[in-house]
Structure 1
Amino acid sequence: MPKILPEDVQQYIRNLIPPRDELLSFMEKTAAEKVVPIVEPEVAQLLYWLALSHKCSRVLEIGTGIGYSTLWLAKAVIPVGGKITTIEINKPRYDTACENFRRAGLVENIELIFGDAREILFDLSGPYDLIFLDAAKGKYLEFLEKCVDILQPGGILAAEDVFMRGMVISGEIDKRRNKTAVSRLKDYLERIIQHPQLETTIIPMGDGIALSLKKQNEINNRSVTGR
């Protein structure tokens, strides 16, 4: 599958990111050596910038992985007294994330939940200032309405890997089992673009990230009444 951005452009952007601390650098190295999926550093910095610029204090992450993106978000959220709730279904990655949060000294600030987001998410009430969706790609559409419901007006829903290694764009599916996920991702993108409660933009960074802003109540009211 073709890269979303030319490699020289991606590398140039990445080189502009300030040096990461020892733990984040270690996680990047470990992920590369063990082929563990984490968000690209430029995507992580975007998440940090979003949380920082919107003064987010309540963040939900669906798909912790080893906690790399969680720690980037924590840099913006924890200094203002905020908290992150994050969900992970994979036990080895959950255990690794626990250890990384312990090493970062943020166990008290990050609520890490082990389990299936298809069950856990629907028991959460929010509201959240930012929701980062980085779970199984075929589940994004299933999670969408609940995410919108528990998102604070003016809050952001960020969905990662929406191009799914370029397959959403090219239509070239590498494995039969990915066909359904690609189809559902296309449906997700169409839905968030047309969603009456969201304003959405799609950024060709990493493997594609969709950013949706939940409209303020007064905007929703004007759209309903036609004023």
Structure 2
Amino acid sequence: MTNIVQPEVQRYIRGLLPPRDEIFYEMEQEAKEKIIPIVEPEVGHLLYWLAFTKKSTKVLEIGTAIGYSTLWIARAVLPLGGEITTLEINAPRAEAAGRYFRKAGVADKIKLVLGDAREILFELTGPYDFIFLDAAKGKYVEFLDKCIDLLQPGGILVAEDVFMRGMVISGEIDKRRNKTAVARLRSYLEEVMEHKSIETIIVPVGDGIAISTKKDITNRCENR
């Protein structure tokens, strides 16, 4: 299973998207040429829409790559005077992201941190009103509780690629080394659906998106 969304549906949705800035097309081309994983344009638009609707002003991104998703989120956040902190472990990709941030004129408004999220994440204090999780898929479960702690009540946690090219659904693993990641992604999805501190919906767009909202326990009328 490689196509979560039927190609004709994907093409139709992309055809409806508003024209995007030229820098996005440039980044898409670089990602294609260098085989760098970035979110699909429709996922980028969803991230923008979520941040725009939430009126997010303090964002944490775990996994920058070349900054494609960062700039989508920035379109909603920066006009409100917000700020984005984004973490990337790969130095060449972080360098490329910094270059694109400068080209877009937003480098001074985005804090790009080079390093391992397994260390940096647990040093952060937050709170954030929007967290985008797009790191190593096998680490999602490990990061979950910390992400929830960092979220303010009503904040949104978005996890990308939760179907992992369909392997999470089909169980057909393309490489032995992906077996653990698939098992951990399944655990992540089970946990976010059952977790008492969040409400979650799984959306079959791109390669699967899990969107969780942190409950405000002070205003909650009943316990789950």
Q: What TM-score results when the alignment is normalised by the length of structure 2?
A: 0.98
CA distance in 1: counterparts of 2:31 and 2:64, whole angstroms: 14
* Alignment deviations for residues 73-128 of structure 1 (CA, whole Å, 9 cap, x no partner): 00000000000000000111011001011111111110000000000000001000
Q: How far off is 1:165 after superposition?
A: 0.4
Distance 2:64 2:211 in 1: 18
- Find the aligned partners of 1:158 and 1:115 in 2 and give their Cα distance: 21
Residues 1:10 and 2:4 aligned together: no
Give the SS at the match of 2:107: coil
Residue matched to 1:119: 119
The Cα offsets for residues 144-193 of structure 1, whole Å up to 9 and x where unpaired, read as 00000010100000000000000000000000000000000000000000
Partner of 1:177: 177
Q: Aligned equivalents of 1:121 and 1:103: distance in 2?
A: 27
Matches within 5 A, 1:1-227: 1-220=1-220, 222-223=222-223
Structure 2: distance between partners of 1:123 and 1:2: 37
For 2:204, give the aligned amino acid: P
1:222 positional shift: 3.3
Inter-partner Cα distance in structure 2 for 1:188 and 1:220 = 24
1:142 CA displacement: 0.2
Separation in 1, partners of 2:191, 2:5? 25
Gapped regions of structure 2 (runs ≥ 5):
none
Shift of 1:217: 2.3
Query: Which ranges of 4 or more aligned residues in structure 1 deviate by more than 4 Å?
Result: none
Residue 2 of structure 1 and its aligned partner are, at CA, apart by: 3.1
Q: Is the 8 A contact 1:85 1:113 kept in 2?
A: yes
Aligned-residue Cα RMSD (Å) equals 1.0
Unaligned runs of 5+ in 1: none
Instruction: Tell me how far apart the structure 2 counterparts of residues 137 and 34 of structure 1 sit (CA, whole Å).
Output: 20
CA distance in 1, matches of 2:192, 2:220: 15
What percent of counterpart residues are identical? 64
Q: Secondary structure at the match of 2:162?
A: coil
Q: How many residues align?
A: 224
For residues 118 and 206 of structure 2, the distance between their equivalents in structure 1, rounded to whole angstroms, comes to: 25
Aligned residue type for 1:176? R
For the residues of structure 1 that align with 2:81 and 2:36, how far apart are their CA atoms? 30
| Shift, 1:220, TM fit | 4.7
The separation in 1 between residues aligned to 2:180 and 2:50, in whole angstroms, is: 31
Contact 1:163 1:169 in 2 (8 A): yes
**Which amino acid is the alignment partner of residue 156 of structure 2?**
I
Contact 1:197-1:220 within 8 A present in 2 as well: no
> SS of 2:59's equivalent?
strand
Cα distance in 2 between the residues matched to 1:176 and 1:220: 44
With normalisation by structure 1, the TM-score equals 0.96
